[in-house]
Amino acid sequence: MSRIRDPIDSIIAGLGKKPDASEQAANRAVIELKKAWVAERMAPTVLPYAGDTLETVMSQIRGLIEFVEEKSLLLHEGDITSSGQDGENIKLQLLVVETELERAKFVARGYLRARLAKIDQSAIYWSTQTPLDTPLSPKEQEYLQRRLIIKEKLYDSSFLLSLHSDLQNLNDTDGAVSMVDEPDLDKPVAIKVTKPGLDPVVCGNDTVLLEHGGLYMLRYSAIAGLPVDIV
């Protein structure tokens, strides 16, 4: 590795213009999905499904996988030695593309699993949502239905069926404590205000001004649906 830094490097470099890659790189679907992943991880409830963004990322992922398969074949069929110039180029491309690929896969995986985790947590509650109200995707709804059935079967055959038929419900809401776990919408979340001109929100007895650029921790219910970034 070269440890000497040529001062002329930086002078010449300063003369060059920056290509517009930076803007492209910053405004892409993977970055959008990463935001959705972050918000999904920290919000107490399942957020509206970012289906379009996810689809875009999935098709990009498929494109990258194809590229990797093609190039790997070239490298391993022996037509190109991995030490030659072409081999070096392919190796570098593979390195970059596969890193990007793994990063995109990680975000998509994290996004989908965070949603499933919250669906699992309040399964009965989510099953009571109407198709119009539910933030769950069709695939998630199917998962939820099957999950409820097998879980119910577990409780039934473990002990519920041995109890009086009046006691076999899983969704008792009477009595002191409801058995249906609902998302805790008052759970505090951290948000960043990335847009100017938002109205103040009411939070308990206080009114909170959402200053542009501000970082707040407040109950989720106060900012649900607002164009702020959950971080």
Question: Per CB under 8 A, which of residues 187..206 are in contact with other proteins?
Answer: 187-188, 190, 203-206
By CB under 8 A, tell whether 155 contacts other proteins: yes
Pick from 114, 229, 112, 122: which is nearest to 184 by CA?
Answer: 122
CB 66 within 8 A of CB 153: no
- How far is CA 200 from each of CA 151, 203, 212, rounded to the nearest angstrom? 43, 9, 11
Residues between 4 and 33 with contacts to other proteins, criterion CB under 8 A: 5, 9-10, 12-14, 16, 18-19, 21-22, 24-26, 28-31
Task: Tell me: does residue 93 bind other proteins (CB under 8 A).
Answer: yes
Q: How far is the C-alpha of 85 from the C-alpha of 49, rounded, in Å?
A: 46
Contact 122, 115 (CB under 8 A): no
| Shortest CB 218 distance to other proteins, Å | 4
Cβ-contact 39, 229 below 8 angstroms: yes
| Interacting residues with other proteins between 41 and 70 (CB under 8 A) | 41-42, 56-58, 60-65, 67-69
Taking the complex as a whole, the smallest distance from the CB of residue 155 to other proteins amounts, in Å, to 6
Residues 6 or more apart whose Cβ sits within 8 Å of residue 116: 140, 143
Q: Which of residues 115-134 bind other proteins (CB under 8 A)?
A: 116-121
CB of 131 to other proteins, least distance (A): 19
Q: How many residues bind other proteins (CB under 8 A)?
A: 113
Question: Using the 8-state DSSP alphabet, how is residue 45 labeled?
Answer: S
Q: Is 186 in the site for other proteins (CB under 8 A)?
A: yes
Residue closer to other proteins (CB basis): 5 or 132: 5
